[in-house]
Amino acid sequence: MFDWEAAWHAALYGPGGFFARGEKPSSHFRTSPLVGPELATALLELLSRVDAALGFPPVVDFVDVGAGGGELAFAVRSLATGSLAARLRVTAVELGPPVDLPGVRWTTSVPPCIGLLVGHEWLDSIPCPVVTGPSDDPWIAQWWPSLADGAQAEVGAPRDAAWASAVAGVRGAALAIDYGHLISSRRFTLTGYRAGRQVPPVFDGSCDITAHVAFDSCAAAAGGDWVLVSQRDALAALGLVGAASGSGWDWLESAARASRIAELRDPATLGSFGWLLHGRDVPVSSLLPALPPWRPIPASFSVS
């Protein structure tokens, strides 16, 4: 029987694997940190709220799990100012080769965190078993009960365990940003990306292999105080709104910023990402106001 999880892991992280050899997501698909500095600005605002809720500890962490080329970690480090900047410790977690970035330390395992831990498109790259219905797998029975005979499904248990472990080491907040589905909308989504194009998933190390995240099971596994909202709504709640204003160069700069914000909040693309936010010794209500619950959109399920 083909071991999907082992093949997936080897293709990404084994000898000669896609990420193990140093491939960076930025070379293969566009993600929110690559749009511009605005995501880092919003996450710094979230970190500031966490910092205040924790009582301004002597050292406050920003941990970027699945950091890729370190773009997000470096942007957060570069944009931080004042007291927060003086106390800020930025850690990038990545299994592939590290990138030399001032002010960013690298590690291959998720460290304890007093502050904000962010898994930006991390969970979707954690390999999972794949089963064909009917299946007696316990995770499938609980979280994918609609699996039809002959249909395939990714078993999200490894992601649940990884997220629960990451959240357990946090004092402050943990945030997973990803595309995903809920028990009401499960679909088999395993796919590949190479050089900016979606491709069939092959397990030879030539492409990134990814699948949607079962947000509801991850949330339940980590437990505690949590919310699941859209990136579109979360960014607005963190102050990421704007329109072109002023004149001359000021107008051009504000128009460029407004365009980047619009891309990040576009409900048909990046704005539809889910933000799963857990508070640890910090109430989520002190970090984000009440927002509409996240719902997946059909466009996110497009696969080759």
Q: What is the DSSP letter of 33?
A: H
Handedness of CA 17, 19, 21, 25 (dihedral sign): positive
How far is 72 from 162, CA to CA, in rounded Å?
21
pLDDT band (50, 70, 90) for residue 298: low
How far is 192 from 50, CA to CA, in rounded Å?
35
The predicted structure's pLDDT at residue 251 = 57
The predicted structure's pLDDT at residue 263 = 86
* Residue 215: count of CB within 10 angstroms of its CB: 26
CA distances from 7 to 18, 23, 60, 95, 131 (A): 12, 18, 38, 17, 14
How far is 85 from 303, CA to CA, in rounded Å?
41
Is the predicted pLDDT of residue 134 greater than 70, yes or no?
yes
pLDDT band (50, 70, 90) for residue 100: very high
pTM of the model: 0.93
pLDDT in tens, 17-51: 988 887 666 655 667 778 778 999 999 999 999 99
pLDDT band (50, 70, 90) for residue 302: low
**Between 298 and 238, where is the model more confident?**
238
CA distances from 271 to 21, 45, 115, 131, 179 (A): 31, 18, 25, 31, 10
How far is 25 from 141, CA to CA, in rounded Å?
33
Quick one: tokens of 246? 């002023």
55 φ/ψ angles, rounded to the nearest 5 degrees: 85, 25
Which segments of 108-169 does DSSP mark as H helices, in order? Answer: 138-143, 157-168
How far is 20 from 11, CA to CA, in rounded Å?
9
How far is 294 from 274, CA to CA, in rounded Å?
6
The predicted structure's pLDDT at residue 194 = 86
Beta strand ranges found along the chain (DSSP E): 60-65, 88-93, 104-107, 113-120, 130-132, 152-154, 170-178, 180-181, 191-194, 197-199, 208-210, 213-214, 225-230, 274-280
